[in-house]
């Protein structure tokens, strides 16, 4: 965990979620009721805790493999940018999580951006399958 996370309650909670096996209950407690998620592959913002939770849990399952790690962190008040790297099926993925926390330290806005194009296509393919599987289990 970086020095910035130690001084930011919401960010520290996010890192605890990511490092602790991505427990959906921890994530749910970290999301504001009216949280908004901006996917790199879905045109419209996804609004509300249940749908944001579904997307972030799927993303953690798809991207949060052994290769995943944050490489850079920028903190400006309640806004943070976390650059990450990972790989899926041998395709290197570089991206950023741009997160806004509310006054209570809960995530109010979460945007993911991914590059290069080959990586975004792979993320779209695997995320679509993961969300479909999750939908079938609920």
User: Domain map of the chain by residue range?
Assistant: 3-133
The phi, psi pair for 45, rounded to 5°, reads -65, 145
The CA distance from 22 to 7, in Å, is 22
The CA distance from 63 to 69, in Å, is 10
Distances, alpha carbon 3 to alpha carbons 47, 72, 132, in Å: 31, 12, 38
pLDDT of residue 23: 85
Burial class (CB in 10 A: 0-12, 13-18, 19+), 86: buried
Which helix (H) or strand (E) segment holds residue 106: the answer is: none
Give the pLDDT band (50/70/90) at residue 60: confident
Given a cut of 50, whether residue 35 has pLDDT beyond it is: yes
pLDDT of residue 134: 67
76 forms beta bridges with 79
- What percent of the chain lies above the pLDDT cut of 90? 62
Fold designation for 3-133: Nuclear Transport Factor 2; Chain: A, (3.10.450)
CB 115 within 8 A of CB 96: no
The structure's pTM equals: 0.86
Give the pLDDT band (50/70/90) at residue 1: very low
Given a cut of 90, whether residue 2 has pLDDT beyond it is: no
41 forms beta bridges with none
Number of residues in the chain: 138
The CA distance from 71 to 95, in Å, is 10
DSSP-based three-state secondary structure for 113: strand
């Amino acid at each position: 965990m970086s020095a910035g996370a130690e001084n930011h309650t919401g960010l520290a909670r996010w890192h605890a979620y990511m490092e602790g096996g991505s427990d959906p209950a921890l994530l749910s407690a970290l999301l504001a009721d009216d949280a908004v998620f901006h996917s790199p592959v879905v045109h419209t913002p996804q609004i509300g805790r249940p749908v944001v939770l579904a997307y972030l849990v799927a993303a953690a399952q798809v991207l949060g493999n052994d290769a995943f790690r944050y490489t850079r962190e920028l903190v400006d008040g309640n806004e943070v940018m976390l650059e990450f790297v990972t790989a899926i099926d041998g395709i290197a993925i570089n991206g950023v999580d741009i997160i806004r926390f509310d006054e209570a330290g809960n995530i109010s806005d979460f945007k993911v951006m991914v590059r290069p194009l080959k990586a975004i296509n792979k993320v779209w393919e695997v995320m679509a399958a993961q969300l479909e599987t999750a939908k079938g289990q609920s």
